[in-house]
Amino acid sequence: MTKTIERAEHHSITSDRFTNSMVAAASSTCFLHFFLTIFYLIIKVPEMWIYSSTTFFLFLLWRKLFKNNWIKTPFVLGSINVGIGIIMANYFIGWESNFNIYFIILPSALLIYTGWKNWERAIYLILVGTLYVVLFLTFSNFTAVYDINSEILKYLSMVNTLSAAGMLIIILFFFNSSITKMQESLENQNKHLENKTAELNRSLIKEQELGQLKTSFVSTASHQFRTPLAAIQSNSELLSMLSNNMDGETSKRFQKVTGRIIGEIGKMTELMDDVLILGKLTSGNVNAKPQELNLVDFCQKLAEEFDDVQLDGRIMEIITDGEPYNVYLDSKLLSHSLSNLFSNAFKYSSGKGNPKLTISFISKGFSLTLEDYGMGIPKSEMPNLFHPFFRANNVTEIKGTGLGLSIAKEYFELNKGILTASSTEGIGSTFEINFKKQEL
């Protein structure tokens, strides 16, 4: 897409340069034919007088077309007009008038413009070359219709030579002027881009500094919080032990309070762990270390760990599709990311059917598809699903940090996997992770 745009811009710039050149050439041709009209009137050649006066107005029209970016039509019509003029000059005035010199302008102008297709250039050059040869063979020994004084023909030949050279110089001058303007414009744009690049680099450096500061703060804060939390937890446990020596009612109250404290400490610890992991991910401090892995065995072992702690007897159903083969993944990252998905599948489908994991193998890659039959996610909130700290409005009563899916997605991507999700509120959710097959 970018190359197409660049080609279009280049074509537009070239057209503008060629247009300026052709406008100048058409103007000079009008000027030339104005004087030729007077000259033919003086030497009494009415046919050429009519041709020159008509050509004067035609090139005014074509000049207008060039200014409106009509490139090919006025160029072709002008070329035909020039060819007719050369033929008439040779027929009525003679070969010695040197009107053939104008042939040099036609291919020169053609070659300057890069917008012509190769076959258009080839046909045009063949036609011009053929016409020149035919005219040479036809008129080199031809006696002109009008007997013009040889002295006049000599000066006319010189004027035609100078006119053709002048027109060619004008075309090249305006073409070169356009190139110079374009170069100046490009230099200004380059300076502007350099300033923007320098500004972006400064912003990037500041952003990197802020990112490092944020990572450092998150890491420090997470570790600093652990010390008072550990003290609170140990004292809560001590209170819980002391409550065993109290009477029944007081003991229950102490147990309830200490249980609540310990539970909140667990939430805070989980949140800090997740924030610390997210900080490492965003700062690029987590790297994948792939190794050969039996994916089916790995998933079954991980599923068994979750099955053992389900109080309602639910299990993770595992289905294998296709011919299994060993894969190349970082097992730690995979374990953490799948654990987040497994935990959510059980947590948000309490009292419903068993979650199901399908492991599919094909020649080009493999995938993991986890389905649950729980609460589902509202359609309007799906775009925010993988954002840090996001929690759908229908799960606010269920414990969670809102970081699990965000971390899982980052870990899957470090393992070169792509995580996608679909969900219907009240029916369930499906998470699919696709991997390309890698050589072991």
Can you give the residue ranges of every domain in the chain?
2-193, 222-282, 291-436
Nearest to 377 by CA among 349, 355, 412, 350: 349
pTM: 0.49
For residue 90, give both structure tokens: 């040779």
Neighbour-count burial of 390, counting CB atoms closer than 10 A to its CB (0-12 exposed, 13-18 middle, 19+ buried)? middle
CATH 3.30.565.10 corresponds to the domain 291-436: yes
Neighbour-count burial of 164, counting CB atoms closer than 10 A to its CB (0-12 exposed, 13-18 middle, 19+ buried)? buried
> How much is the pLDDT for 3?
44
Using CA atoms, how far apart are residues 319 and 300, in angstroms rounded to an integer?
Answer: 10
Nearest to 140 by CA among 96, 104, 101: 96
> How much is the pLDDT for 6?
45
With H, G, I as helix, E, B as strand and everything else as coil, classify residue 54: helix
> How much is the pLDDT for 16?
64
Q: What is the pLDDT along the chain (440 residues), one digit of tens a residue?
A: 444 444 444 445 545 666 777 777 778 888 888 888 888 888 888 888 898 888 888 888 878 887 777 777 788 888 888 888 888 888 888 888 888 888 877 777 777 666 778 888 888 888 888 988 888 888 888 888 888 888 888 888 888 788 777 777 777 776 666 556 666 666 777 788 888 888 888 888 877 666 666 666 556 656 666 667 667 777 777 767 777 777 777 777 777 777 777 767 766 666 666 666 666 666 666 778 888 999 999 999 999 999 988 888 899 999 999 999 999 998 888 988 898 899 889 988 888 889 999 999 998 899 999 999 888 888 888 888 888 777 887 776 677 677 778 888 888 888 889 999 999 888 999 999 999 987 65
List of residues 6+ apart from 212 with CB closer than 8 A: 283
Nearest to 33 by CA among 74, 89, 71: 89
